[in-house]
Amino acid sequence: MHRLFSLLGLCGLLSVAPVHAQARTLRAVASFTVLADVVAHVGGTHVTVTSLVPPDGDPHEFEPSPDDARQLRQADIVFMSGEGLESWFGRLAHAASYHGQPVIVSSAIQAYTPPGAQQAETDPHVWNSVPNVVIWTNTIRDALIAADPEDADSFRASASAYVTQLQALDQDIRSRISAIPADRRRVLTSHDAFGYYGRAYGVTFMAPQGLSTETEASAGNVATLIRQIHQTGITTYFMENATDPRLVQQVARATGAQPGGELYAEALSPPGGPAPDYITMMRHNTDLMVAAMRPR
């Protein structure tokens, strides 16, 4: 299904109906909170953004409601990440009689397939590498300009300002991770959501569960992971805000790893929480991981 969404994304920028006549605010719908936050930064006051998956929600196992169908029907523009993340979107579009073409913001990103994964099993968690969100930002900018040409200058200015913030964030993460000895850059998490972070910043992630929380880890995979943890000396594990923690806690009990806090892999926290926006989320995650990896 993700291939279909990628094809839709290629034509999404061309298919959004421009807003003419009297000036009004674009109604944008984004599939999940991380993407909604980026859309809001680029859109500014000219766009209202609704996230279908709520804060602390799992975008893999999301079950759309009738209200989500209503939001989709009323949207001027719809944003999705793609690469198989939103496997539920087809059902929602059918229920909503939605015949539009969502903008697939990850279509210009080179997808990563983890070693040992099936050929079609690409990692959808592209936002955990900040340079990928720079690509998102530019794609969102162009889509909003296509939908609302009169506010193009505002969208360009907002996108440029946000990219500057993202570039500073990226450099800060690289600097902090580079200060950790390479042999200590290992992290145990609930599921395999940080592959892009690991590739971008030089961290090895281990997890009992695969790319999607819909998959189940086999007993053999868990046993192999436990042996690897004993060999590498990982002493800290992390739960994730949108993921069932029981499996990683089972691995922790078998290895003696201690809890290091809660990471935000694919969902923001509610306002007032530790990760209410993308930049704060990335800083929060990096803070916790650096503290766990730092030599004691």
Tell me, what's the pLDDT at 97?
Answer: 95
Q: Is the pLDDT of residue 219 over 80?
A: no
Tokens of 150: 């009169």
Tokens of 19: 């807003």
Average pLDDT over residues 6-24: 45
Nearest to 269 by CA among 33, 12, 84, 104: 33
Local confidence band at 245 (pLDDT 50, 70, 90 cut-offs): low
Local confidence band at 223 (pLDDT 50, 70, 90 cut-offs): confident
Q: Is the pLDDT of residue 25 over 50?
A: yes
Local confidence band at 2 (pLDDT 50, 70, 90 cut-offs): very low
Nearest to 203 by CA among 108, 288, 137: 288
Check if the beta carbon of residue 173 is closer than 8 Å to that of residue 282.
Answer: yes
Count the Cβ atoms, other than its own, within 10 Å of residue 161. Answer: 13
pLDDT tens-digit map of 126-163:
999 999 999 999 999 999 999 999 999 999 999 999 99
- Give the C-alpha separation, 221 to 242, whole Å: 22
- Give the C-alpha separation, 90 to 275, whole Å: 29
The packing angle between helices 246-255 and 219-232, to 10°, is 50
The amino acid sitting at 50 is T
| Predicted TM-score (pTM) of this structure | 0.84
- Give the C-alpha separation, 32 to 51, whole Å: 5
Average pLDDT taken over every residue of the chain: 85
Count the Cβ atoms, other than its own, within 10 Å of residue 58. Answer: 21
pLDDT tens-digit map of 31-87:
999 999 999 999 999 999 999 999 999 998 899 999 999 999 999 999 999 989 999
pLDDT tens-digit map of 148-206:
999 999 999 999 999 999 999 999 999 999 999 998 998 887 767 899 999 999 998 87
